[in-house]
Structures are given as structure tokens and as C-alpha cells.
Amino acid sequence: MRQILLFSLFLCYHYIYGQIPNLPQRPGVSNLYSVPESLNNQPSHRPNSPNINATSNYYKKVTPRDDQDEINKEVDRQMAMIREESYVKNYMLTSLSDRKGTDSYYRAFDNLMKFDPDSYSITDAVFLVENAYNNNDHNFQSAYQTQIQKATNMIRQQMKRSVIDDSDNVAKNLAIFRYFAQDTKQNGKVIHKAIKYDFEDYMGAKDYSKMFVSKLMKTNTGQCHSMPLLYLMLAEQIGAEAFLVVSPNHSYIRFKDGDGEVLSVELTNGMFSANSFVLNSGYIKAEALKNKLYMQNLSKKEVLSQTYVDLASGYIHKFGYDEFVAKVLGKALELNPNNINATLWKSNTDQMRFMQACNRVNIDPENKEQLQKIRNYPPLENQFLEIKAGFDYIDQSGFAQMPAEQYEKWLGSLQTTENKQKSEEIAERLRILNAQKQREAAKKIKLIVPKKESPKVYAIPKEFL
């Protein structure tokens, strides 16, 4: 999974605020174009023209008090708008809405907002994110739908050949796992090769589309962001239950076997693993487990939260930071307050907002002496305090930065003799159980002509196109 890097220039400035009070652990999620309470409470300075109280007795006689109240309310409203416009101009991130392609992201966000967080199509959600990056290209839409349907059909055919009962969740998961880990043959011919890990630019630093499921399906190579997502999508298509799980720099799949034991699937290596493998990375603190940052089976709502993060991340990589990013991340944290990726991106967004605002008032945020001047600008001071609160929360959450080289070393350790043996033991046990189920299912098959049913075809909803 792509690692999010925090800016560090504010870490050395904590000494400036020796009198900072204790703040809540979780930083507040910024609302789009929200004005601080301190500004809302400032007295209005009304122009003289509508001040009817200061006019002649004639006007007092013919003008009801209700009219005066309405005029005062309208003046207050207009002054509040002026204050808000001034705040947006001076203290919020510059809008990037004039950039070509941003409208695709706005549309994707609006469509995601229509989803029921507990009941939606993960396949559709991933499509919206990747389609936005591709500017709603019709060729992309057609290829995406075709590739998903092709993969689904291969798995269904494998299930049919293996006489897999539709209620057998373990067997269905194994069918998906085989699609990733083994070549698929038909009439002795390989029609699909095992999916390989793409070690070149696997974090998407040079080419962000390396993160996408569509790239995986096109090239048959992926990484630990795209592979588990495709697995979830295929599980959804054939009605299998599986869960997305995240750990530092990484994500993988879990499902339960017939005995109720939880199995971890490492698609990057095509192996099964134990929880100890993830813990052995050395970057999962006890606090992170306590705060449920890692190694949790994500619910559909929590997966949707990560989808919003993916949308924001793609927008940042393509255009940069603006208040749309803050809005998307706010929704991600609303769905899952423990989403550490959303929290890290929010911290970056808060810092970018602060730096832009400082530049507008000629303050160099990297100059310790100049930074003292933010005391003269209450909105800037509030932003600084929110950033500090965000750093405090991240520090206390148990998050730890995992260097790329350490991640690669840890991922390669799955190939050690001990881990290979563990994976083979799990796979062998599952093969034995699965073969036994197939024999039992074959005995129950009645010699009747089965009713033909048309396979379900995945189609992108028309409202997304």
C-alpha cells in the first residue's frame, strides 16, 4: 500500500507555544469553507444607509419594527458573507476547480455519496475512483467492465468443473485464490496466467495508475493495493465472503475456513500466512492494535472509507491540494474515524493550507522568528493548533513510518522456509477438505437435466456514465 509521508517542518516549532492547553486527541475534520467561531461572533459593522432608527419620526410611524429587524438580519447576512469570503480568500487552500479533469472527481464524489455505506457494490466504487483519474474515458469504461466479467466467468467455470456448491464459502474463496496464484487452463491451453507482483514503481510514485485494479487486469501484474481490491471485487461477483485487512504499507485478505479458523491470504506472494507474519514486520505497535488501526477485518463501511481516501489520493497526485481534498477526507473519517491513511492525508492537507495562508501574509513558516507572527492572525494560530493536535493524535495512535526498503525486505521474508512450510500446511489442509466436499457433492448430484440459468453479467450503472 502506498505510504503517505507527513511534512515535518512543524515538528520543531512546538517550543513556540509553551502555554498551549491540552487539546483533544483527535483533530477536528475541517468542513469545506467553514469559518471559525471567532469570526462568526465578531460584531457587525453596518453601513449608515439602512439605519432606519436614525431617521425622522415620519419613517418611524410608517415603518413597522418587523421591517427594521428584517433589514438588520439582511445586513448581518451580507456582512457574514463578506467575512466568509475574506476568510476563504486568505486562509483556505486555493481552489483547483479550473484544472481540466477536476470535474470528473467532483462527479465521482457525488456518486459515492449516494451509496448506502452498508450495502453497495465495491466493484462500482473502485470504478468511480479509477474512472475519475481517467477523465470518464469511454474506452476505460468498456475495458473495465469487460475485464471484470472475463475474470468472473473464469472463476465460475472453475467452480462448475470442481462441482463447488454455491453455499461453500471456503471453496469459492479457494477458486478466487487459484485465479491469482495459478495459471488457468482450458482444453490444455493457458487462457490466464498467474498474477505477479509488480516490483517496478509499486508505490505509484512515477505512475500513479500503478495503484489501480484496471492496471492489474490489463497487465496481469499488481501490488498490495490493487490485488486485494480485485479479490474483494471478484468475491462480490460470485457471492463469497472475504475481508480486506490493512497493516503498515500493506493490505491483504482474510476469510474463515470450514472450522472457523481465520486464514490470511498474501496475494503478493500467492501464499497463506499467519498473523505472526504481519506482526513480525516490527512496525505494528501495541497502541496501533488497541486503537484498531491495523489487522482488523474491515466492514463495508470501512472499505468505503478507504475508497474516499483513494479518491483524494488520486486527486492530490493529479492536481494537488485544495478544499475538495479536505471535504473527501472528512467523509472518509466520518465513515471510519480510525482510518489512519485518511488521518495522515488530512494532516498533509492541514499543513498545506497553513503554508499557503502564511505566504499570503508574508510569513515564512520555516523561519522560527517569522512564525511567531502568526499570533497576530487568529485564524492562522487556530490552524497551527489544529496541526499540532493532529500530530499529537498520530503520535498517540501507534502509527509508525515503515521505510520502503524495510517493507520490501519484510515482504520477501514470506519466502523463508518456515513461512513457506506454514503456507503449504494450510493449503494442503484446505485441499483435503475441499476434495472431500467435492466427493460428497458429486454423490448428491441427481441425473436430471439442470435448469439453465444465464450467468450474472457485471454492468456499470448507467448513472455513472
Cα 236 vs. chain centroid, distance in angstroms?
19
**Contacts for 388 with CB less than 8 Å, ≥ 6 apart:** 10, 14, 17, 20, 23
According to the model, what pLDDT value does residue 449 have? 44
Alpha helices in 114-239 (DSSP H): 122-133, 138-161, 169-181, 213-219, 226-238
Strand ranges, E, within 1-46: none
Least confident residue range of 33-42, 114-123, 237-246, 319-328: 33-42
- The yes-or-no verdict on residue 108 having pLDDT over 80 is yes
For the segment 252-289, what is each residue's pLDDT rounded down to a tens digit?
Answer: 999 998 778 889 999 988 999 888 888 888 899 999 99
pLDDT in tens, 299-328: 999 999 999 999 999 999 999 999 999 999
- For residue 464, pLDDT over 60 is answered with yes
Out of 133-142, 317-326, 408-417, 429-438, which region has the weakest mean confidence (pLDDT)? 429-438
The residues facing 272 across adjacent strands are 265
Provide the 10 A C-beta neighbour count for residue 78: 13
- What kind and span of H or E run contains 194? none
Q: Where are the alpha helices (DSSP H) in 37-121?
A: 37-40, 57-62, 65-91, 102-113
Q: 185 — phi, psi (to 5°)?
A: -115, 150
> Which of 414, 130, 432 shows the shortest CA–CA distance to 252?
414
Percentage of the residues of the chain whose pLDDT score is greater than 70: 80
Could you report the per-residue pLDDT of 151-203, keeping only the tens digit for each?
999 999 999 988 888 889 999 999 999 999 999 888 889 999 999 999 888 88
Cα-flanking dihedrals φ and ψ of residue 245, to 5°? -130, 140
| Per-residue pLDDT at 227 | 97
pLDDT value at 115 more than 70: yes
What's the CA gap between 419 and 415, in Å, rounded? 6
| Helix/strand/coil for 385 | helix
> Of 82, 79, 99, 87, which is closest to residue 30 (Cα–Cα)?
87
Cα separation, 369 vs 9, whole angstroms: 14
pLDDT band for position 424 (cuts 50, 70, 90): confident
Write down how long the chain is: 465
Q: Confirm if 177 and 265 have CB atoms less than 8 A apart.
A: yes
| pTM of the entire predicted model | 0.81
Cell numbers that stand for 208 in this block = 500513479
Higher-confidence residue of 21 and 3: namely: 3
pLDDT band, very low/low/confident/very high, at 45 (cuts 50, 70, 90): very low
Tell me which of 15 and 130 has the higher pLDDT: 130
CA-only gyration radius of the chain, Å: 28
Question: DSSP labels for 197-214?
Answer: E--TTTT-SS-GGGG-HH
The mean pLDDT of 331-335, rounded to a whole number, is 98
Tens of pLDDT, residue by residue over 364-417, are: 998 989 999 999 999 999 999 999 999 999 999 999 888 988 988 888 888 887
